[in-house]
Amino acid sequence: MSLPTIRLAVDAVVFGYDPKEGISVLLIQRKYDPFKGGWALPGGLVNEDESLEHAVERELEEETGVKVDYLEQLYTFGNPGRDPRNRVVAVAYYGLVKKSDFILYAATDADDAKWFHWDELPELAFDHKDILETAIKRLRGKIRYEPIGFELLDDKFPFSDLHKLYENVLDKEVDRRNFKKKFLQLDILTELEEKVSEGPGRPGSLFKFNQEKYDKFKKEGFNFEI
Amino acid sequence: MSLPTIRLAVDAVVFGYDPKEGISVLLIQRKYDPFKGGWALPGGLVNEDESLEHAVERELEEETGVKVDYLEQLYTFGNPGRDPRNRVVAVAYYGLVKKSDFILYAATDADDAKWFHWDELPELAFDHKDILETAIKRLRGKIRYEPIGFELLDDKFPFSDLHKLYENVLDKEVDRRNFKKKFLQLDILTELEEKVSEGPGRPGSLFKFNQEKYDKFKKEGFNFEI
DNA sequence: ATCTAATTGTGTATTTACTACAATAATAAT
DNA sequence: ATTATTATTGTAGTAAATACACAATTAGAT
């Protein structure tokens, strides 16, 4: 019996957030065939001695210059035929970053690296559209019962930013007052003395995310649902 | 650049249910080294032209004789060193079956195939303990907001069986009356005229799972939480 | 036949969460 | 200063989740 020659790759769906523009996705323009010139998720083959997480982080930095601080395995896409050349099975990850933390640059397999608003995506190579849709669904599901999202906000932020983030991700209106009640009940935010006014309107206090209390909750299991 | 020689495998965590004994897990005894004679999850290498799902179903039937009707991808385990011989990345799946539907037999790589109560598991080969724990967590999480579990019950069942199943999986007491209210509100069960008495006590009606309504809910998204 | 233990069916308080609305306060623009 | 905009606070009605009580029905023991 000959050894199967299946290649193993990783792909990354990186969501970036900006309070003004909403959610974006990081894509690269392919330098080589197949799909030369087409847009695709950053990613590439896994090296023999590296972990999957390492492979994602490496490819991501090589191709785009982005280092993610939150990274989670999404799903493994393995249909024969998803790559026209060979059998390639891809383990997809998704990550969250503050968009403003990075200046993108393209290198190695990528001709360009760009943020696309998640409502205005170009055609994607391979089955990357499926991967992206899976990631969006997962993010939407996850944010409802686990307070992700602090990775997407500044260290100190007005409550309205958090609220907008949720409305952006969930793509629907969320009652501001009840949302705040629920979130403050969770007790993982620290309200600061400082205030900011963003444009007109009464300025709100800044909040800080309390990592300590968050870790405690994570151990004991969250009881939280938006 | 030489091609990485990473091998791709699938592993299956199959949960079986029996109202009297609770939840069991299907394990095989390994016929060959490494871990010869040790217990492990059924699984094996993926063929070049088959889908991952096909590979799981094939290996499962080859090694144990079990055909699963519910199968879902769990997680991909890819740490270098998880297999002492080579780099093997394993895509793990988990499935649910009615235990009484099968007579186990062991073949190919397996010397034996057996159900183990999930509280009394033997030592497992490779990182299969991690895989199993991940699967248990996932099952516990999933059953709380999606009415899985009908795969584990007979076609017609007294309500108490469903209740016991939940208490078994969640490993805690669940108020019988409130549980029933919540489940009946969901409106995916049909109450039959027939009654059964299991030992002493007032006999209860039998219920049937309503696949049609279930599918409708699945499309529109469940709003259900135990 | 009678009693006991086990189990199901039905119902009702009580508490908690959700939602909506109104009143008030702080700031920016004019 | 006046007005518009947005944030905060409070209140209250409604809905939902939870806890708990009790009657009804059966098998098996005596």
A164 is written with which tokens? 């907008």
CATH code, B88: 3.90.79.10
The dihedral region occupied by B127, where left means phi > 0, alpha psi between -120 and 50, and beta the remainder, is alpha
Residue A202 CA distance to nucleotide D5 C1' (Å): 8
Q: Is the dihedral of CA B39, B113, B60, A138 positive or negative?
A: negative
Any B CB within 8 A of A103 CB: no
- Please give the residue range of the domain that contains residue B106: 7-132
Of the three residues A97, A115, A145, the one that is the final residue of a domain is A145
Residue B191 domain flag:
yes
Residues B123 and B155 in one domain: no
Residues B117 and B156 in one domain: no
In a domain, B158, yes or no: yes
Specify if B144 maps to a domain: no
| Residue B139 covered by a domain | no
Please give the pLDDT value at position B82: 95
How many domains is chain A partitioned into structurally? 2
Q: For helices A176-186 and A159-170, give the axis angle rounded to 10 degrees.
A: 110
Q: Determine contact, residues A74/A93, Cβ cutoff 8 Å.
A: yes
CA closest to B81 among chain A residues: A49
B179, B69: one domain = no
SS3 A113: strand
- Residue B189: give its domain's CATH number: 1.10.10.10
Query: Any CB–CB contact under 8 A between B80 and chain A?
Result: yes
Shared domain check, A181 and A162: yes
Distance of CA A175 to the CA centre of its chain: 24
**Residue A20 and residue A122 in one domain:** yes
pLDDT tens for each residue of B95-127:
999 888 888 887 778 889 999 998 899 999 999
- For D7, nearest residue by CA–C1' is A202
Query: Cβ B6–A73 below 8 Å, yes or no?
Result: no
Nearest residue in chain A measured CA to CA from B92: A76
Q: Is the CB of B156 under 7 A from strand C?
A: no
Binning chain A into helix, strand and coil, the percentages to the nearest 5 are 30, 30, 40
- pLDDT band at B74, cuts 50/70/90? very high
Q: Taking CB atoms and an 8 Å limit, are A3 and B4 in contact across chains?
A: no
Q: What is the pLDDT of residues A37-83, one digit of tens each?
A: 999 999 999 999 999 999 999 999 999 999 998 899 999 999 999 99
State both tokens at B171: 């490993």
Asked if A104 is an interface residue toward chain B (Cβ–Cβ < 8 A), one would say no
Residue spans of chain A under pLDDT 50 = none
DSSP string, B89-145: EEEEEEEEEEGGG------TTEEEEEEEETTS---BSTTHHHHHHHHHHHHHHHHHH
Same domain for B121 and B213, yes or no, is no
Q: For residue A45, which residues of chain B lie inside 8 Å, CB to CB?
A: 4
The candidate with the shortest Cα–Cα distance to B71, out of B44, B101, B91, is B91
